[in-house]
């Protein structure tokens, strides 16, 4: 009897392992769930979308704006700093993402957490050829603090109503097919 049970238990165990692997791989393909493949596996979907903070962001010319000023658009808000190595490596992919999103209802905002503001940011933008990106200074890191950004880079997606959809802490290739699939998912059909 034991000789018969051992192979049956082994087959059952193998079936459970295979089922677990298939379930894990298929979790990204659940209807209604955003695609989270590749580097987007680290994207955390917001449990209950909360509104963007009403804090000031400062443009290069000194004008103040906020995340709310971009209502009606999907906002890809990237928190970074000139001294952050992973941020620097990630920036070109954000520029390419903005180019790929041209003509859509989405915008990339690069929110600098540099304490010295534009005197530090402006030369960095020129040196790294980031002029095609909308760069704003998060003065006194007020927006980052309000969103509980704990590490750089962190990228937070906001829906057109200004509610947080989710975030990714750490660097990513934002122009990779997986990132574009995630953004297109949130943009909706035909985008």
Give the phi and the psi of residue 68 in degrees, each rounded to 5. Answer: -60, -25
Q: pLDDT grade, residue 2 (50/70/90)?
A: low
Compute the distance between CA of residue 101 and CA of residue 157 in angstroms, rounded to an integer.
14
pTM, entire model: 0.82
Q: Quote the CA–CA distance of 6 and 140 in Å, as a whole number.
A: 65
Q: Which of 17-21, 58-62, 64-68, 117-121 has the lowest mean pLDDT?
A: 17-21
Whether pLDDT at 72 is above 50 = yes
| Beta carbons of 55 and 133 less than 8 angstroms apart | no
User: What's residue 190's pLDDT?
Assistant: 52
The domain limits of the chain are 1-33, 38-187
What is the helix (H) or strand (E) element at residue 39, kind and residue range?
Answer: none
pLDDT digits (tens, 9 = 90+) for 132-167: 899 999 999 999 999 999 999 999 999 999 999 999
The pair of structure tokens assigned to 40 is 């987007």
Spell out the CATH class of 38-187: alpha beta
């Amino acid at each position: 009897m034991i000789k018969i049970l051992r192979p049956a238990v082994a087959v059952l165990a193998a079936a459970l392992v295979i089922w677990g692997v298939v379930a894990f791989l298929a979790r990204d393909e659940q209807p209604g769930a955003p695609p989270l493949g590749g580097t987007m596996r680290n994207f955390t979907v917001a449990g209950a979308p909360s509104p963007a903070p009403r804090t000031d962001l400062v443009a290069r010319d000194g004008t103040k704006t906020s995340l709310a000023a971009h209502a009606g658009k999907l906002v890809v808000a990237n928190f970074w700093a000139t001294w952050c190595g992973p941020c620097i490596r990630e920036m070109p992919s954000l520029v390419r993402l903005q180019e790929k999103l041209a003509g859509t209802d989405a915008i990339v905002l690069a929110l600098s957490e540099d304490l010295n503001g534009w005197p530090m940011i402006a030369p960095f933008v020129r040196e790294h050829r980031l002029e095609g990106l909308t760069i704003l200074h998060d003065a006194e890191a007020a927006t980052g603090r309000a969103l509980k950004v704990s590490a750089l880079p962190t990228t937070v997606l906001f829906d057109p109503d200004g509610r947080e959809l989710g975030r990714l802490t750490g660097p990513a290739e934002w122009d990779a097919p997986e990132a574009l699939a995630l953004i297109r998912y949130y943009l909706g059909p035909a985008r």
